[in-house]
Amino acid sequence: MKRSILIGSACLAAGFLMGYGMNLRTVSAQTAPKERDGGMLYEQPAQARLQDGHSFVISRDEVLKNFPPADKSGKVAPTTLSTTLGWDPVYSLMVMRRPYMDPPIKSANTGLMTHWADAEMHEEKAQLYIILSGTGQVTLGGKAPMEHHPILNGQHGGGPLEAAQGATAERVKPGDIVVIPPFGWHQAQADPGQTLEYMKVDILQPRLEP
Protein backbone atom coordinates (compact mmCIF):
# COMPACT_ATOMS: atom_id res chain seq x y z
CA MET A 1 0.00 0.00 0.00
CA LYS A 2 2.79 2.43 0.97
CA ARG A 3 4.62 1.61 -2.26
CA SER A 4 1.48 2.38 -4.28
CA ILE A 5 1.06 5.72 -2.51
CA LEU A 6 4.68 6.69 -3.17
CA ILE A 7 4.53 5.64 -6.83
CA GLY A 8 1.31 7.62 -7.28
CA SER A 9 2.87 10.65 -5.59
CA ALA A 10 5.90 10.47 -7.84
CA CYS A 11 3.77 10.21 -10.97
CA LEU A 12 1.68 13.22 -9.96
CA ALA A 13 4.77 15.28 -9.20
CA ALA A 14 6.39 14.26 -12.48
CA GLY A 15 3.30 15.20 -14.47
CA PHE A 16 3.07 18.56 -12.74
CA LEU A 17 6.74 19.28 -13.42
CA MET A 18 6.53 18.26 -17.06
CA GLY A 19 3.60 20.60 -17.66
CA TYR A 20 5.37 23.55 -16.09
CA GLY A 21 8.70 22.69 -17.67
CA MET A 22 7.27 22.66 -21.20
CA ASN A 23 5.69 26.08 -20.67
CA LEU A 24 8.46 27.78 -18.71
CA ARG A 25 11.79 26.50 -20.02
CA THR A 26 11.73 28.89 -23.00
CA VAL A 27 10.90 31.85 -20.75
CA SER A 28 13.62 30.81 -18.33
CA ALA A 29 16.25 30.63 -21.05
CA GLN A 30 15.39 34.13 -22.25
CA THR A 31 15.31 35.88 -18.87
CA ALA A 32 18.31 36.74 -16.70
CA PRO A 33 18.27 35.13 -13.22
CA LYS A 34 18.18 38.38 -11.24
CA GLU A 35 15.24 39.61 -13.31
CA ARG A 36 13.29 36.49 -12.31
CA ASP A 37 13.92 35.61 -8.71
CA GLY A 38 17.12 37.20 -7.42
CA GLY A 39 19.19 34.30 -8.73
CA MET A 40 18.12 31.97 -5.91
CA LEU A 41 17.96 28.82 -8.04
CA TYR A 42 21.45 29.51 -9.39
CA GLU A 43 22.96 29.50 -5.90
CA GLN A 44 22.38 25.76 -5.43
CA PRO A 45 25.20 23.17 -5.24
CA ALA A 46 26.81 22.54 -8.62
CA GLN A 47 26.71 18.76 -8.16
CA ALA A 48 22.90 18.86 -7.85
CA ARG A 49 22.44 20.60 -11.22
CA LEU A 50 19.90 18.62 -13.28
CA GLN A 51 20.67 17.80 -16.90
CA ASP A 52 18.13 17.28 -19.66
CA GLY A 53 17.83 13.62 -20.60
CA HIS A 54 19.28 12.33 -17.30
CA SER A 55 16.47 10.88 -15.18
CA PHE A 56 16.83 9.42 -11.70
CA VAL A 57 14.89 8.04 -8.72
CA ILE A 58 14.93 9.53 -5.23
CA SER A 59 14.64 6.88 -2.50
CA ARG A 60 12.38 7.88 0.38
CA ASP A 61 14.28 5.51 2.68
CA GLU A 62 17.62 7.13 1.80
CA VAL A 63 16.22 10.62 2.35
CA LEU A 64 14.89 9.69 5.80
CA LYS A 65 18.18 7.97 6.67
CA ASN A 66 20.29 10.98 5.64
CA PHE A 67 17.96 13.60 7.14
CA PRO A 68 16.44 12.25 10.39
CA PRO A 69 13.70 14.18 12.23
CA ALA A 70 14.57 17.09 14.50
CA ASP A 71 14.80 16.63 18.27
CA LYS A 72 12.18 18.04 20.64
CA SER A 73 13.81 21.47 20.63
CA GLY A 74 13.66 21.66 16.82
CA LYS A 75 17.38 21.03 16.21
CA VAL A 76 18.46 18.68 13.42
CA ALA A 77 21.55 16.50 13.43
CA PRO A 78 24.54 18.19 11.73
CA THR A 79 25.38 16.88 8.27
CA THR A 80 27.62 17.72 5.34
CA LEU A 81 24.93 16.62 2.88
CA SER A 82 23.02 19.26 0.96
CA THR A 83 19.23 19.23 1.34
CA THR A 84 19.02 20.30 -2.33
CA LEU A 85 18.67 17.05 -4.28
CA GLY A 86 18.31 18.56 -7.74
CA TRP A 87 17.73 21.88 -9.48
CA ASP A 88 17.68 23.67 -12.80
CA PRO A 89 16.57 27.18 -13.77
CA VAL A 90 12.92 26.08 -13.83
CA TYR A 91 12.53 23.87 -10.75
CA SER A 92 14.32 22.49 -7.71
CA LEU A 93 13.92 19.55 -5.32
CA MET A 94 14.70 20.09 -1.65
CA VAL A 95 14.26 18.10 1.58
CA MET A 96 12.46 20.17 4.21
CA ARG A 97 12.10 19.47 7.94
CA ARG A 98 9.55 21.53 9.85
CA PRO A 99 9.54 20.50 13.53
CA TYR A 100 7.30 21.38 16.44
CA MET A 101 9.70 23.47 18.52
CA ASP A 102 9.51 23.01 22.27
CA PRO A 103 10.32 25.30 23.95
CA PRO A 104 8.94 27.80 21.41
CA ILE A 105 11.19 30.28 19.62
CA LYS A 106 10.74 33.95 18.75
CA SER A 107 9.25 34.60 15.31
CA ALA A 108 11.57 36.55 13.02
CA ASN A 109 8.53 38.28 11.50
CA THR A 110 6.32 39.07 14.49
CA GLY A 111 8.61 38.85 17.52
CA LEU A 112 6.04 36.57 19.19
CA MET A 113 6.83 33.11 20.59
CA THR A 114 5.83 30.23 18.30
CA HIS A 115 6.20 26.45 17.94
CA TRP A 116 6.54 26.59 14.12
CA ALA A 117 8.37 28.35 11.33
CA ASP A 118 6.49 31.42 10.08
CA ALA A 119 3.96 31.50 7.25
CA GLU A 120 5.16 32.25 3.72
CA MET A 121 3.84 33.31 0.32
CA HIS A 122 5.70 33.32 -3.01
CA GLU A 123 4.91 35.54 -5.96
CA GLU A 124 7.10 33.80 -8.54
CA LYS A 125 6.87 30.09 -7.90
CA ALA A 126 4.42 27.26 -7.34
CA GLN A 127 5.26 24.53 -4.85
CA LEU A 128 4.49 20.86 -4.25
CA TYR A 129 4.99 19.26 -0.83
CA ILE A 130 5.27 15.45 -0.90
CA ILE A 131 4.99 14.39 2.76
CA LEU A 132 7.64 11.78 3.68
CA SER A 133 7.25 11.42 7.45
CA GLY A 134 5.61 12.95 10.51
CA THR A 135 2.10 14.21 11.16
CA GLY A 136 0.58 17.64 11.52
CA GLN A 137 -1.21 20.12 9.35
CA VAL A 138 -0.50 22.50 6.52
CA THR A 139 -2.49 25.71 6.87
CA LEU A 140 -3.36 27.29 3.53
CA GLY A 141 -4.89 30.48 2.18
CA GLY A 142 -6.04 33.69 3.78
CA LYS A 143 -3.48 36.36 4.61
CA ALA A 144 -0.84 36.23 7.31
CA PRO A 145 -1.01 38.89 10.04
CA MET A 146 1.94 41.21 10.66
CA GLU A 147 3.43 40.68 7.20
CA HIS A 148 7.15 41.34 7.14
CA HIS A 149 8.76 43.94 4.89
CA PRO A 150 10.80 44.27 2.75
CA ILE A 151 9.77 41.46 0.42
CA LEU A 152 12.83 39.58 -0.87
CA ASN A 153 12.90 37.62 -4.13
CA GLY A 154 9.11 37.63 -4.27
CA GLN A 155 8.87 35.84 -0.90
CA HIS A 156 6.58 37.20 1.80
CA GLY A 157 6.68 36.21 5.47
CA GLY A 158 4.25 36.79 8.30
CA GLY A 159 2.64 35.59 11.49
CA PRO A 160 0.81 32.28 11.95
CA LEU A 161 -2.11 31.50 9.66
CA GLU A 162 -5.46 30.93 11.35
CA ALA A 163 -9.13 30.62 10.45
CA ALA A 164 -9.61 34.24 11.57
CA GLN A 165 -7.44 35.32 8.61
CA GLY A 166 -9.39 33.12 6.18
CA ALA A 167 -6.95 30.17 6.25
CA THR A 168 -7.88 26.46 6.23
CA ALA A 169 -5.96 23.82 8.20
CA GLU A 170 -5.47 20.52 6.33
CA ARG A 171 -4.27 17.41 8.16
CA VAL A 172 -1.34 15.68 6.40
CA LYS A 173 0.48 12.36 6.72
CA PRO A 174 3.15 10.45 4.73
CA GLY A 175 2.10 10.03 1.10
CA ASP A 176 -0.03 13.18 0.97
CA ILE A 177 0.70 15.91 -1.60
CA VAL A 178 0.12 19.62 -0.97
CA VAL A 179 -0.25 21.91 -4.02
CA ILE A 180 0.55 25.60 -3.45
CA PRO A 181 0.11 27.97 -6.41
CA PRO A 182 1.81 31.37 -6.58
CA PHE A 183 0.35 33.99 -4.19
CA GLY A 184 -0.95 31.26 -1.83
CA TRP A 185 -0.08 31.72 1.84
CA HIS A 186 1.01 28.51 3.59
CA GLN A 187 2.48 27.24 6.86
CA ALA A 188 3.60 23.74 7.89
CA GLN A 189 2.63 22.98 11.50
CA ALA A 190 3.87 19.68 12.93
CA ASP A 191 2.10 17.98 15.82
CA PRO A 192 3.80 18.17 19.27
CA GLY A 193 6.86 15.92 19.29
CA GLN A 194 6.75 15.53 15.50
CA THR A 195 8.77 16.76 12.52
CA LEU A 196 6.96 17.22 9.21
CA GLU A 197 9.53 16.07 6.65
CA TYR A 198 8.70 16.53 2.99
CA MET A 199 10.11 16.87 -0.49
CA LYS A 200 9.55 20.44 -1.62
CA VAL A 201 9.33 20.99 -5.37
CA ASP A 202 9.76 24.66 -6.33
CA ILE A 203 8.52 25.49 -9.83
CA LEU A 204 9.51 28.90 -11.15
CA GLN A 205 6.62 30.87 -12.59
CA PRO A 206 7.69 34.46 -13.31
CA ARG A 207 4.84 36.93 -13.26
CA LEU A 208 3.96 40.23 -11.65
CA GLU A 209 0.29 39.87 -10.73
CA PRO A 210 -1.99 37.02 -9.62
Sorting pLDDT into bands at 50, 70 and 90, what band is 85? very high
Please indicate, yes or no, if residue 210 is contained in any of the structural domains: no
The predicted model scores a pTM of 0.78
More confident: 153 or 116:
116
More confident: 171 or 152:
171
Domain encompassing residue 7 = 2-204
Number of domains in the chain: 1
CATH number of the domain bearing residue 96: 2.60.120.10
Q: Can you list the positions of beta strands (E) in the chain?
A: 84-87, 91-99, 105-106, 113-114, 119-122, 125-133, 136-140, 155-158, 168-172, 177-180, 186-190, 195-204
Give the chain's radius of gyration (CA, Å): 17
Please indicate, yes or no, if residue 200 is contained in any of the structural domains: yes
Sorting pLDDT into bands at 50, 70 and 90, what band is 73? confident
Please indicate, yes or no, if residue 158 is contained in any of the structural domains: yes
Instruction: Determine the pLDDT at residue 169.
Output: 96
